[in-house]
Amino acid sequence: MKSIEERATPKSSIPASKSAETAGTVTSGGTSRPLPARVLTPPAPAPLPHMEDYHSIIGQAEVNALRFLAHEVKGKTVKMINSTAVGGGVAEMLQRLVPLLSELGVPTHWDVITGGKEFFEVTKAFHNALHGANYNLTKAAQETFLRYNEQNRKRLHFEEDMVVIHDPQPLALVCSHDQSHAKWVWRCHIDLSNPNPQVWEFLRPFIEQYDATIFSSQSFARQLPLPQYLFYPGIDPLSEKNKELPASLIQKICDEFGIDRSRPIVTQVSRFDRLKDPVGVVQAYKLARKSVDFQLVLAGGGASDDPEGAAVLEEVKKEAGNDPDIIILDLPPWCALEINAIQRSSTVIVQKSLKEGFGLTVTEALWKSKPTIAGAVGGIPNQIINKLTGVLVHSVEGCASQIHYLLTHPEFAHTLGANGHEHVKENFLITTGLKRWLLLTRLLAKSK
Amino acid sequence: MSGKSLRKPDKPFYFNTSEHLLRIGREKAATLSELSKALQTCPDDSIFQHTFRTLQEHHFIRQGFSNDFAHWSLSSCNEPVLAEHLASVDVREFTTIGDLRRSIVDIVERFLQNHPGSITHHGHAPFYFCASDIVVLPTPFVADSLHGFLDGLNHVGIHSIHHHFIEARLRLKRMSNDFSHWLEKELGLSAAADSIEGIDIYTNTMEEVRQQIACIVAQVSN
């Protein structure tokens, strides 16, 4: 079994570098050029932070609370189980959470289930079906799901005090519940508000064997006969995507991408995906630009690896036409530092999603004290309290009007940004998440 | 009164803090009528969550946020009249959740009687009732003098200020807070206690509340 540190920085998580032709592009004024050579190669992974690194961000009182809670559950052990060591938000979160819990004196182990192609095809279909997609649940799919879960159940040991299963793939491991002394928790990261009934009814008996469930938003949960907790996803303020950056580096990155920092910048960071409505953002730009000067930056990825992403990128370029003030950046996935710099250089940040999970790009924007305009979907209303921590919109016209308003009312925009930062500090940082895990460990340890 | 003439307190002030683990409740309201029904049947800790506790979660907002029911009435139901009535509920006027619940239910029912067209009006998004499991934790700060009190006040986290200043009246069952209660009972500082109790929590951030309390205490100790 690998040590936690090895698991927290798996070598296979380092993607291969890309050639200039496949890495992505900078598009502006109707012409595209390759990305700067510097970003074609993934950087070496940054070392993971320790608890003491967070003192200056969250303050001594919060650190004291974390240490007190950790002391109360000292020696309790936790096992986290998910379906992948690399890629995706869950693995990214566990890479940071697991070492911090262990450092606080709550030894936490992370196991990853194994499965063949057929298993992951079934679980991918389940994932989409739980999000509401049409799906015909066959007997064969059920058998595949259960067979691989049973294989993993026999392979893994459940000797910890709390076993946390992430998402539906390893859900049936709970069949070991009665043979272990552990409390079993299902951490559901997906939106279950409108699931395919066949898949839901197949999975529900397993869910009901758990001692507790956790969802990322009130609206993602379902009626279940067991406690349901609300754990908001969080960002790490010390990650490459969110850490403070020197002004010189922000300037350098903007220069490389042709972003003019002497004029207002409105940015949307997201994959080139129709549900993020990048075309709608360009349309909002065109409406707002009739009365206020600014540049629009659309920074995202996914177009070089995903045919649909490439199609959406082309739609965005077509909508943008030859406008030199629209800068479209198709970036490789390792450009966290570049995204950070672009967000920090922005005057206003937009996330005009039509459908959304929790919306961590909104969290990132708020953390950087940026006035943020976002679609009122998914977990975004948990983050944006309209006109207090940001602005919620429901249409292209609404988005355009709010861009105009925030660019011409900098004091109000500043207040939104300041409130947004405090909102994230209070509710959506990894340290708050850590506190929730300690509280849950304590609570379940005391329950019969 | 100067700090030198203050009596020694019989009991020290223990600065505690509280942490909350948020639970998703069973009740959900899609309309104002459903809200009214759920308000009457939800557990006490849900009423606490959406009034007292939400102030802690949003301690950094100076103005425009009072409780989750008012916020939902405006942002989801577009009912500004109801939102204004609900926003006028000051949690500090209540020493029991039962009384607070009755006050909120009365406002919603009165509004629905006067605005029958709003009864089945669907909000943009439902109201999900939540509640919290609460854990009270000690902090390293224990004061046995006014100086020590001021030191603790300046160093504890914002959650501790909320715990002692806002949530306290449910524990004390009286219209006061832990700070005023201790200053009055242990040090005989009735005027300072009254001044602290008078600080407005709806137009100040919790950090500003802390600063105002510290200012009142510092004036007494100088």
Sketch the domain layout of chain B as residue ranges: 19-132, 144-221
Contacts of B22 in chain A (CB under 8 A): 229-231
**Position B24 pLDDT exceeds 70:** yes
Please say if the pLDDT value at position A73 is more than 70.
yes
Q: In terms of pLDDT, which residue wins out, B56 or A405? A: A405
User: Which residue of B lies nearest to A426 if distances are taken between CA atoms?
Assistant: B57
A375 with A290, same domain: the answer is yes
Inter-residue contact A47 to A412 (CB < 8 Å): no
Q: What are phi and psi of A324, to 5 degrees?
A: -75, -10
A390 touches chain B (CB under 8 A): no
Residue A440 and residue A409 share a domain: no
- CATH number of the domain bearing residue A128: 3.40.50.2000
> How far apart (Å, rounded) are the C-alpha atoms in residues A339 and A298?
11
Contact A202, A142 (CB under 8 A): yes
* Phi, psi angles (nearest 5°) of residue A93: -65, -45
The pLDDT of residue A57: 96
Q: Which amino acid is at A409?
A: H
**Is position A353 within any domain?**
yes
Check whether A168 has a pLDDT greater than 50: yes
**Which residues on B lie below 8 Å from A221 (Cβ)?**
24, 128
List CB contacts of A284: < 8 A, sequence separation 6 or more.
A350, A352, A396, A397, A399, A400, A403
Chain A touched by B142 (CB under 8 Å): no
pLDDT at residue A349 above 90?
Answer: yes
* Residues A333 and A301 sit within 8 Å (Cβ to Cβ): yes
Which residue is listed with tokens 């030191």? B151
Query: Is B128 part of the contact surface with chain A (CB cutoff 8 Å)?
Result: yes
Q: Are A214 and A163 in contact (CB under 8 A)?
A: no
Chain A CB contacts of B61 under 8 Å are 385, 388-389, 419
Number of domains comprising chain A:
2
For residue B197, the tally of other CB atoms under 10 A from its CB is 17
Q: Looking at chain B, which residue has its C-alpha nearest residue A225? A: B26
**Up-side HSE of residue A245: CA atoms within 13 Å toward CB?**
23
A319 and A203 within one domain: no
pTM: 0.91
The answer on A317 and A216 residing in a single domain is no
Contacts of A439 in chain B (CB under 8 A): 19-21, 133, 135
Reading across the β-sheet that carries A391-393, which strands appear in turn? A31-34, A25-28, A326-330, A295-300, A265-269, A348-351, A372-375, A391-393
* A369 within some domain: yes
Would you call A257 helix, strand, or coil by DSSP? helix
Query: Which residues fall within 8 angstroms of residue A134, CB to CB, at 6 or more apart?
Result: A196
List the domain range (segments joined by +) for residue A197. Answer: 71-234+431-446
- DSSP codes, A273-297: -GGG-HHHHHHHHHHHTTTS--EEE
Q: What confidence score (pLDDT) does residue A21 get?
A: 55
* pLDDT for the residue A22: 62
In this structure, the answer to whether residues A440 and A415 fall within a common structural domain is: no
Task: Mark yes or no for CB contact B157/A61 under 8 Å.
Answer: yes
Min Cα distance B2 → chain A (Å) is 30
pLDDT of residue A309: 86
Residue pair A266/A289 in contact (Cβ under 8 Å)? The answer is no
Q: Are residues A395 and A437 in the same domain?
A: no
Contact A385 B65 (CB under 8 A): yes
For residue A395, pLDDT over 60 is answered with yes
Residue A197 and residue A331 in one domain:
no
Closest among A313, A314, A381, A321 to A353, alpha carbons compared: A381
Q: Indicate whether A2 belongs to any domain.
A: no
Residue A445 contacts B, CB cutoff 8 Å? no
A152 within some domain: yes
Q: Lowest mean pLDDT: which of A158-162, A234-238, B120-124, B198-202?
A: B120-124
The secondary structure element, H or E, covering residue A360 is helix A360-367
Cβ neighbour number for residue B163 with a 10 Å cutoff = 25
- Partner residue facing A218 (CB), from B24, B138, B158: B24
* Predicted local confidence at residue A14, as pLDDT: 40
Q: In this structure, is residue A80 part of a structural domain?
A: yes
Longest dimension (CA), chain B: 65
Classify residue A64: in a domain, yes or no. no
Q: How does pLDDT run across B98-122, given as a tens digit for each residue? A: 999 999 999 999 999 999 999 988 8
CA dist A325 and A274 (Å) reads 22
Which pair of tokens denotes residue A426?
A: 């209070």
Q: Which pLDDT does position B103 carry in this prediction?
A: 98
Contacts of B21 in chain A (CB under 8 A): 229, 436, 439-440, 443
Which residues of chain B neighbour A69 with C-beta distances below 8 Å? 19, 135, 137
3-state secondary structure of B183: helix
Alpha carbons B219 and B201: distance in angstroms, whole number: 21
Give the tokens for residue A194. 């409108």
Same domain (yes/no): A145, A288: no
Instruction: For residues A271 and A373, state if they share a domain.
Output: yes
Six-digit token string for A114: 């194994």
> Is the domain of A257 the same as that of A319?
yes
DSSP letter assigned to residue B49:
I
A349 and A273 in a common domain: yes
Instruction: Using an 8 Å CB-CB cutoff, list chain B residues near A219.
Output: 125-126, 128
A251 and A347 belong to one structural domain: yes
Smallest Cβ–Cβ distance between B137 and the set A65, A230, A386 belongs to: A65
pLDDT of A317 over the 60 cut: yes
Question: Which residue on chain B is closest to A232 by alpha carbon?
Answer: B22
The mean pLDDT of A315-327, rounded to a whole number, is 97
- Rounded CA separation A294/A316 (Å): 18
